[in-house]
Structure 1
Amino acid sequence: MAAKVSESIGKFGLALAVAGVVNSALYKVDAGHRAVIFDRVHGVQDIVVGEGTHCLIPWVQKPIIFDCRSRPRNVPVITGSKDLQNVNITLRTFFRPVASQLPRIFTSIGEDYDEWVLPSITTEILKSVVTRFDAGELITQRELVSRQVSDDLTERAEFTEAVEAKQVAQQEAERARFVVEKAEQQKKAAIISAKGDSKAVELIANSLATAGDGLIELRKLEAAEDIAYQLSRSGNITYLPAGQSVLLQLPQ
Structure 2
Amino acid sequence: MEEKVIDMKPKSNFKLGRTISLILILVLFIGIAFNSYVIVEAGHRGVVLQLGAVKPVSLEEGIHFIIPFVQKVIPLEVRVQKAQSEETAASKDLQVVSTTVAVNFHLIPEEVQDLYQRVGLAYKERIVDPAVGEAVKAVTALYTAEELISKRSEVSAKIKETLSNKLANYHMQLDDINITEFKFSEEYNDAIEQKQIAEQQALKAQLDLQRIEIEAKQKVEQARAEAESLRLQKQEVTPELIELRKIEAQMEEIKKWDGKLPSVTGGTVPFIDINSIDQ
TM-score interval, normalised by the smaller of the two chains: 0.5 to 0.7
Number of the residue aligned with 1:37: 48
Q: How does 1:6-155 map to 2 (within 5 A)?
A: 17-40=28-51, 43-155=53-165
Name stretches of at least 5 consecutive residues in structure 1 with no aligned partner. Answer: 1-6, 162-252
Question: Percent identity over the alignment?
Answer: 27
Larger Rg computed on CA atoms: 2
TM-score (norm 1): 0.54
- Structure-2 separation of matches of 1:85 and 1:50: 49
Cα 1:85–1:122 change in 2 (3 A) is: same
Q: How does 1:176-195 map to 2 (within 5 A)?
A: none
Aligned residue for 2:64, secondary structure, equals strand
Cα 1:150–1:37 change in 2 (3 A) is: same
Q: Deviations over 1:201-223 (max 9, x none)?
A: xxxxxxxxxxxxxxxxxxxxxxx
Give the deviation of 1:68 after TM superposition.
Answer: 0.4
Name stretches of at least 5 consecutive residues in structure 2 with no aligned partner. Answer: 1-17, 172-279
Give the deviation of 1:120 after TM superposition.
Answer: 2.3
Q: Highest relative contact order (Cα 8 Å, sep 6+), 1 or 2?
A: 2
Give the deviation of 1:141 after TM superposition.
Answer: 2.4
- Structure-2 separation of matches of 1:60 and 1:12: 23
What residue identity is the alignment partner of 2:155? V
Cα 1:160–1:16 change in 2 (3 A) is: closer
Give the deviation of 1:67 after TM superposition.
Answer: 0.3
Aligned residue for 1:133, secondary structure, equals coil
Aligned residue for 2:107, secondary structure, equals coil
TM-score (norm 2): 0.49
What residue identity is the alignment partner of 1:81? S
Cα 1:84–1:71 change in 2 (3 A) is: same
Name whichever structure is richer in helix by fraction. 1
